């Protein structure tokens, strides 16, 4: 799990620090997202840790978003398909790459907090849950946007 922790640290840096310095930010972000997705897809069904650790802190979305904009000022809006199977029923909507990355980071900060304050089993279960329920769609949309925007 040290690989997952490293990926989480590297991705969350873009939402925690306002000026991450590197020359190939977009390429680096794409690689991190793919590595994170691979970690998720290769997880065996994790078992929940039944210990009651209380609630995960609520990380400040607006602060994360502000730092994402500072690190990636060129990210913007994009068109996407919401329901691929219902092509005849207004399938498009507007996406926001900044929101995608901010949501991914917010979710990963919660996983990171669990690694540091609960148990590894709890953190892995929570990562799997968040990916399945929320983060995966943001990740897929953001990767597609980054591919078409930056190559």
Question: What pLDDT, in 10s, does the model give residues 37-90?
Answer: 999 999 988 788 889 998 999 999 999 999 999 999 999 999 887 666 666 666
Predicted local distance difference test score (pLDDT) of residue 85: 66
Q: Which residues contact 125 (CB under 8 A, 6 or more apart)?
A: 46, 47, 48, 49
pLDDT (mean) for 90-101:
88
Predicted local distance difference test score (pLDDT) of residue 87: 63
Nearest to 46 by CA among 130, 133, 136, 121: 121
């Amino acid at each position: 799990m040290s690989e997952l922790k490293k990926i989480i640290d590297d991705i969350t840096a873009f939402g925690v620090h306002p000026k991450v310095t590197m020359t190939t930010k977009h390429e680096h972000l794409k690689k991190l997202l793919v590595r994170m997705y691979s970690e998720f897809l290769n997880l065996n069904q994790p078992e929940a840790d039944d210990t009651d650790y209380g609630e995960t802190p609520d990380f400040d979305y607006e602060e994360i978003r502000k730092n994402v904009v500072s690190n990636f000022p060129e990210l913007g809006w994009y068109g996407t398909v919401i329901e691929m199977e219902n092509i005849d029923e207004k399938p498009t909507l507007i996406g926001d790459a900044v929101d995608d990355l901010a949501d991914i980071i917010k979710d990963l900060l919660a996983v990171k907090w669990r690694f540091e304050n609960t148990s590894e089993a709890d953190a892995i279960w929570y990562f799997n849950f968040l990916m399945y329920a929320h983060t995966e769609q943001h990740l897929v949309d953001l990767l597609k946007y980054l591919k078409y925007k930056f190559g």
